[in-house]
Amino acid sequence: MPDRSDVSRARPRWDVSASRPPGDGHPTSTPVLISKIRLVGSLGGLVTVEWVLVAGPDRAWTEAFERSPAKRRGTPTFVGGGCGRPLVHDGGTIRWSVPHEDLSGAAAYVLESVVYANSRPLPDDAGLPPAG
């Protein structure tokens, strides 16, 4: 059986550093990047995937990630929310248990959510001079 402990070698690969949507010119904080995707376990048709992040997320980033409008694509169970949601952990990881056949859809969902969270503007009290 092939070693599946590191699924970051699987295609497709995504680089979220170049995927930040254009903003209104308002600066954003340092983006959180995905450095590695790995399989950390499996049980009964579900696989637990972990996305290791560079620059651990702050609370505002985590809240933005959780509010992401990203759409799920895959099996009816996955699309319908039957797999819960990805969880952002304080140690700089995102974990999610999904059906094996929905790995690609889960990876796309997490990527879109990371890009969305990275695009949030800094709060007004971030110490920047007022615009204009």
Residue 61 lies inside a defined structural domain of this protein: yes
Residue 121: the pLDDT is: 74
Low-confidence ranges of the chain (pLDDT < 70): 1-29, 122-132
**Which residues on adjacent β-strands are paired with residue 89?**
93
Residue 2 lies inside a defined structural domain of this protein: no
pLDDT digits (tens, 9 = 90+) for 35-64: 999 999 999 999 999 999 997 889 999 999
Residue 3 lies inside a defined structural domain of this protein: no
The residue range of the domain holding 84 is 34-118
- Nearest alpha-carbon partner for 114 in 6, 14, 9, 47: 14
Total structural domains within the chain: 1
Residue 21 lies inside a defined structural domain of this protein: no
Residue 1: the pLDDT is: 42
Residue 52 lies inside a defined structural domain of this protein: yes
Residue 14: the pLDDT is: 43
The model's pTM is 0.72
Q: What does the alpha-carbon distance between residue 132 and residue 116 come to, in Å, rounded to a whole number?
A: 26
Residue 31: the pLDDT is: 86
Residue 24 lies inside a defined structural domain of this protein: no
Query: Is the CB of residue 54 less than 8 Å from the CB of residue 124?
Result: no
Residue 90 lies inside a defined structural domain of this protein: yes
Residue 26: the pLDDT is: 40
Q: What does the alpha-carbon distance between residue 26 and residue 52 come to, in Å, rounded to a whole number?
A: 27
Q: What does the alpha-carbon distance between residue 4 and residue 1 come to, in Å, rounded to a whole number?
A: 9
Residue 56: the pLDDT is: 81
- Nearest alpha-carbon partner for 62 in 39, 103, 29: 29
Residue 77 lies inside a defined structural domain of this protein: yes
